[in-house]
Amino acid sequence: MIAYFPEILPDESLYSLVCRYKKYNFPLNHHHVTQQLFGKTHIAVRPDLTVRLKEFSDRTFHILKLDVSDVIYKLTIWPFYFHFLLPNRKGLLLDKLKKETQKNFLQTSGLLNKYFFGSTLPKYCPVCMADAYKYYGIFYWKKVHQIPSILVCPIHNCFLKTAKVNEKEVTSFYQLVDASQESCDLNDVGIQQ
């Protein structure tokens, strides 16, 4: 049973929480973490939408008190995304989010469409990152910045940036990028590398 899970910070994404869980449980690798949280080793946790959320809810409910609908609506971009779906697709994709594999979900979601600008790397606003560090002492990935096609922070009106990863991680489908001074360019907001 999972004994600890990070406290959810304002607008924090599920991806961010999984990254922090992995960091606190070092040296667990990606596959250990997804086995513990999603009941399966080989799943890619995406910054925007991740599958097997019923399993995640079941495994963390004793700590987070979030049922599967709460997880979907509070920790993913689904509340934005579903507006772009035809009514007959909404129920189908919602069901896939709860139970399916990532491959089955992505094939029908449209997130792989290049015109939708979905990303496997998290995006961030440098000012939001600096604020997070100031108020909470950590960096984290916000949900609102992971919405495909959103290029500007709705709070600060500055362009979003994409996380930097090392070359080994770029080619890996399974990657959890920590929000940090290494993965984020924060020089312009007074946090030096």
- Judged by CB under 5 A, does residue 128 bind Zn ion? yes
Q: Which residue stretch of 22-30, 51-59, 117-125, 161-169 sits at the interface with Zn ion (rule: CB under 5 A)?
A: 117-125
Interface with Zn ion by CB under 5 A: which range of 11-19, 89-97, 122-130, 171-179? 122-130
CB proximity list for 187: less than 8 A, separation 6 or greater: 193
Nearer to Zn ion (CB atom), residue 10 or residue 91: 10
DSSP 151: -
For Zn ion, the binding residue among 69, 156, 181, 185 (CB under 5 A) is 156
* Residue 147 φ then ψ, to 5°: -65, 125
Amino acid at 11: D
Q: Which residues of 130-156 are buried (b: 16+ CB within 10 A; e: fewer)?
A: bebbeeeebbbbbbbbbbbeeeebeee
* Closer residue to Zn ion in complex, CB, 28/144: 144
Structure token digits, residue 173: 């489908």
| Count of residues in contact with Zn ion, rule CB under 5 A | 6
Q: Which of residues 81-100 bind Zn ion (CB under 5 A)?
A: none
Residue range at the interface with Zn ion (CB under 5 A); choices 80-88, 107-115, 125-133, 169-177 = 125-133
Tokens of 189: 């907001």
Is 127 a binding residue for Zn ion by CB under 5 A? The answer is: yes
Q: Residues interacting with Zn ion, by CB under 5 A?
A: 125, 127-128, 153, 155-156
